[in-house]
Structure 1
């Protein structure tokens, strides 16, 4: 956290609310709304999804304030390897999606999408493995969408494709712990995401022995320093990811990944998702080149802030949300 919180007036004066279309539907999202701030330490972002309650969203605002008005931990590296992310698209679209991630030899595939079947997931994974080749690293992310039985069946069906890990296959820690035995026998690791960032106790999944590694995001955990503290205490390998952020939010994630000790950084990070947006707030978009992104803070571009400005009623909605979350942080 910053040494002194900026006033609500300072925060609102620095705020720009944007609405950026996505190139394809991503977890039901076709327009990504976010607030970016022209803050003293550089641009920062507040972008909890609209359905999140104020209590949860306040943690995201805390992260935005830390990154824009506070201090950032010293980096240990100046570039971060990133994975490509394939949404739950038809298998025929896989080459088109992967073309947006030049040089990435690790791919994370979304599975367990509501309204789709295991056969849809299999077709998507087959297409990714074919494009990636046998030596590339392949991960899947179910966002807690499977029951324990469904997860076991899915991992057995997907085992021939040499999965690096399955991210949040089930919703609960007990299910993850039970599934871990099956996954270990198949040579696949269990990664926890929602069980960290949406939990009242983000360390519970590590203490329960329910995951082999953690997927962490800076905004939902309250900022770079708090995420570092959680990761250090959990003592598990980590992949840093994003929540379909603009380049500003991606920069926060890059600074988290850059500050991790070598022993805790578990390969390519999920920070290439600006490639899934059909626009950005900067002319210096943080997208992968040769499979990596240089750690930096992009500058806000006034032309793009105007182009992607949200409708007045959405601006009012976000500003009111900031006011409520700011009051929560201050108490």
Structure 2
């Protein structure tokens, strides 16, 4: 039985936040509230201490049901669903990439973190490269070569003008060894409960982005005028990072694909990806997959698959009456 989430239930679970409201999109509001509440119940069922977070600048932190106490999270690694995922998280946290922006609180204590989800989803594979290779070719059969490395929260070069000269990074990246001795990159962007926002690019960054865009040959005529600003601009910037690798003077990267991974219930991301695809005249370097589909095949162990389903794919409850269409500002 799925509980209908009233505002009273959400409030009692420290899950009633205006941040979850998506104006004009009650379906996404329901999804975002559902996964926050689900994770609060997941935390409570295990007796994990609640954490706090500042929901607005200038306001004191408040208890959030989907947050772990930071010190507990750091000591226990409780947000990670397998020992190997926790090992991968600790290995990533021990490395500091140039100009990286890895938010420690979010990565370890926010149960809704997409960066942590990427580690949970692919962490077992980082410890077993042969399984990683089988999984990648099960999920994305046209991927060439053989997996040799798995990276998390990774960029080949932040603020590096030989790449895209930006701070963008991939939540996960599989490095491939190709038959000719060069490398391929399967770059993953995980979007769990995120929604798109209309955003623009700083004018000082546009010359480099435009150069990558034009040289790639993958965009439809006039796409650049549509992309900046747009609700898919962040997708574009991460795709550009992948494309910049394929254009790099080193010649190291000769195959690449940028993949957005999201829950089937996140319809906002699905629609944004469809919108973005209309701006491409060649989509060989762009792909989308749902978490639901990845878990539907036997690429991961039964135990890990069950843990991921139970943690990240709850059934979305429906609210009745006018509440289902209310997107008023909450406290």
TM-score when scaled to structure 1?
0.30
Q: Give the greater-gyration-radius structure (CA).
A: 2
